[in-house]
Amino acid sequence: MATVTWTTPVGLTVTQPYRKFSQRLVNTQLQSISVYDRNMPSPVNSQKQKTAFPPNFVHSLDASHMVLSAIECKIAGLVFASVHDSYWTHACDIDRMNEILRDQFVQLHELEIMENLKTELEQRYADHKMPTRTWEYASASALKIPKKGSKTGKAEKQLEEEQIIESSLADQHLQFCNDEDVQSEPLDWKTADAGTNVLEAENKSADDADATSSSANEHVVYIDLETVKLVDPKEDLAGALRQEDCIAYTLSVNIANQKKRRSEIVAEYRKISAIKKAMAKDKGKGKGKEAMPASDEAVVVDTNDEAALLIQQLERERDAKLAEVKTSYVTEFKRKPIMVTQSRMLGTYKNVDSMKAETGVSGRFIPRLVWVDIEFDPLPKQGGFDIKEVRNSPYFFS
């Protein structure tokens, strides 16, 4: 975690010093004294950093205006003194200093102050991350909730543990920052350790909604994954969610068809295992014309050598068909998971449930606490006030 640092228009670098310094209580005969060692490494007080930045940034602009005014007054031969934003000079030079203050204020605020600040922060904190609450969309066709007590693969279990650890770290970080807005609804990841799937608890109400919705799957169709063009969630969130449903449905259909075809091929060549068993059974009993039993028909061979050749031929045929099946169906499709943040839904949907209802998607929104790259919102549109009007204002620096 880093402190907030920026550069003023006059080139001065400002760093907010707010940290959570550890204290030591020293008891004496007269009183108890709390001693803060500011030389020891201490964590950043993120709450103070956040709340103090706006006024401190404005103060830095006032200080920049003071510096520019002092320099210009020196050039004009005026005696200059100031305390914060209160400026003094001799009575005979008041009018001249008034003009200098207004001119320097206009020149200062004609600069692209906010644009420069945003650019600097983006560059300064380009490699920093922040924890944020998001919802990961999982299509109904792709989402598989294991029942309690069911066996989970080693890779799936490891992935689940990593997600729990990552979410717990992010949640602890948010609590450490005292961010009341973000941690108002903390996630309970303890249920995962107890054997209860987190998705079941978070999406219990969604099951009832899916059961009563008759039009939830109208948009789900089989699509061509080789030519499909992904929809950008930032441009069309609803379209991206519906497309994800179609992709998941297509993959599930392809996987089912591939599995079915593989089973048919394996059943077709069950005679291979039957021949191998017969060869092992008759090994050492002498040579002769014998029938090698198969599952659905008898394969007659003269010698074990001929049986071995037959096995090789059948295995080549089987493997060729299995390889063809593997490439005939698209069962994997790489794409980034759709992560929905609160800011992306703001102004469009009231909450996750309303977003699901309005978009008509059939999947689930899984709450996540993840570390993401720091992003800064676009600057609001500048108003129509002309800063040059300050020069003629009777209320400014008078």
State both tokens at 358.
């309005």
Residues 6+ apart with CB under 8 A from 183: 171, 174, 175
State both tokens at 16.
């907010």
**Are 215 and 228 in contact, with CB atoms under 8 Å apart?**
no
Residues 6+ apart with CB under 8 A from 268: 318
Distances (CA, A) of 188 to 52, 164, 167, 204, 352: 32, 10, 10, 15, 18
Tokens 């993120």 found at = 46
Please tell me the distance from the alpha carbon of residue 202 to that of residue 13, in angstroms, as a whole number.
46
State both tokens at 266.
């394996």
Tell me the catalytic residues. 85
Residues 6+ apart with CB under 8 A from 232: 240
